[in-house]
Amino acid sequence: MKITDHIKNANGKTLFSFEIVPPQKGVGIADLYKNIDPLMEFKPPFIDVTTSREEYIFLERGNGLMERKITRMRPGTLGICSAIQNKYNVDTVPHVLCGGFTKEETEYLLVDCMYLGINNIVALRGDAMKGEKYFEPSVGGHKYASDLVKQIHDLGIGEYLHGKIESDTDNSFCIGVAGYPEKHIEAPSMNYDLQMLKKKVEAGADYIVTQMFFDNQKFFDFVKQAREIGIDVPIIPGIKPIATKIHLQMLPQVFKIDLPEALINEVLKCKTNNDVREVGIEWAINQSKELLDFGIPVLHFYSMGKSDNILKIGREVF
Ligand code: FAD
């Protein structure tokens, strides 16, 4: 079922969902299941599965020689989506990237989604390759998520890359896109970024999922500004419980977000990472309760491997 239909059917009740990251290739799926199992208690209508683009790896070839190879270390997004759908009878949402993919490859992936009964997609540009400063689209690929959204939307109405195919079945996808309550790092201003977000909605996006944030006011302001410029699709907040001291540096560096002083101070007082985990849980519970009062359609968690903290938060909030 489409995410937008899940939201409609919930009649104003906030739904619970989460995102998982595929394991590195060579590692089995068992650990992923161990982390998903407990969260099924909250009856998520859908689970997101991220996609990682290709990266350079360096292999030692003896005599001090290194060989540079390009590979995807976490392939298998569609396989994992399909496995989860079968095991848990829940919708899955693969993340589809511009970076590293041609339009043809994207079309084949979307056709596979149709066969697998996957009718929700989060369409993203992806970041620059590791070691490169700026995002470069693949030859024959898309430059912006809005172009990818258009391809997914068009294919849903039978417009394939080579031409039109008439069909009696509904092949349309429900398309999610990323939103940034603290602005995307490359956008010259918040207003510019919001206008680009609007472009994604005009191209066919049905809902928005936000980057993680730790200060709800940033989300409230973002929603207000989005509504003011005519973005009227559901906006789903993404929440990540802070879990180790390293997150104080890592989260701003990777996700280009700020942490509130009060949270930083609480984390700095912690003696162990277990203490930090508890601070993260407490913070996320308070954030979640306030977001539910605000009236959000879905509360979406970034699980990043471990789900024990999300389980504790969910039990307090749902
Ligand atoms: P876009 O919407 O294309 O925006 C990129 C930049 O270009 C922005 O600064 C925007 O303002 C600007 N822009 C957009 N459209 C135009 C236009 N038409 N003309 C000019 N400027 C424009 N990354 C992964 O690799 N894998 C994942 O699975 C993944 N999942 C994510 C899930 C969520 C919810 C979020 C928030 C992010 C996720 N990311 C993921 C990270 C994402 O790929 C990066 O943040 C990336 O840098 C931007 O992607 P985007 O889709 O927002 O890009």
Give mean pLDDT, residues 271-280. Answer: 97
Q: Is residue 273 part of a domain?
A: no
In a domain, 54, yes or no: yes
Residues 227-232 have a mean pLDDT of: 98
pLDDT in tens, 37-89: 999 999 999 999 999 999 988 999 998 899 999 999 999 999 999 999 999 99
Indicate whether 84 belongs to any domain.
yes
pLDDT, tens digit, 9 for 90 and up, residues 104-114: 999 999 999 99
Structural domain including 173 reads 3-237
> In this structure, is residue 27 part of a structural domain?
yes
The tally of domains found in the chain comes to: 1
Is 19 designated active site? Answer: yes
Report whether residue 35 contacts ligand 1, using a CB cutoff of 6 Å: no
Determine the Cα–Cα distance for residues 168 and 198; give it in Å rounded to an integer.
31
Cβ–ligand 1 distance for 151 under 6 Å, the answer: no
**Percent of the chain at pLDDT exceeding 70:** 100
pLDDT at 305: 78
Q: Both ends of the chain: CA-CA distance in Å?
A: 22
Give residue 201's pLDDT band: very low, low, confident or very high (50, 70, 90): very high
53 C-beta closer than 6 A to ligand 1: yes
What CATH number is associated with residue 63?
Answer: 3.20.20.220
53: CA distance to ligand 1 center in Å? 13
Q: Is 186 in the pocket of ligand 1 (CB under 6 A)?
A: yes
Please choose, from the candidates 278, 198, 204, the residue with its C-alpha nearest in 3D space to the C-alpha of residue 231: 198
CA of 172 to the centre of ligand 1 (A): 22
Residue 315 lies in a domain: no
Quick one: which atom of ligand 1 is closest to the CA of 53?
Answer: 25
Q: Name the closest-CA residue to atom 9, ligand 1.
A: 187
pLDDT at 128: 94
Confidence of residue 306 (pLDDT cuts 50, 70, 90): confident
pLDDT at 131 over 90: no
Q: Is residue 35 part of a domain?
A: yes
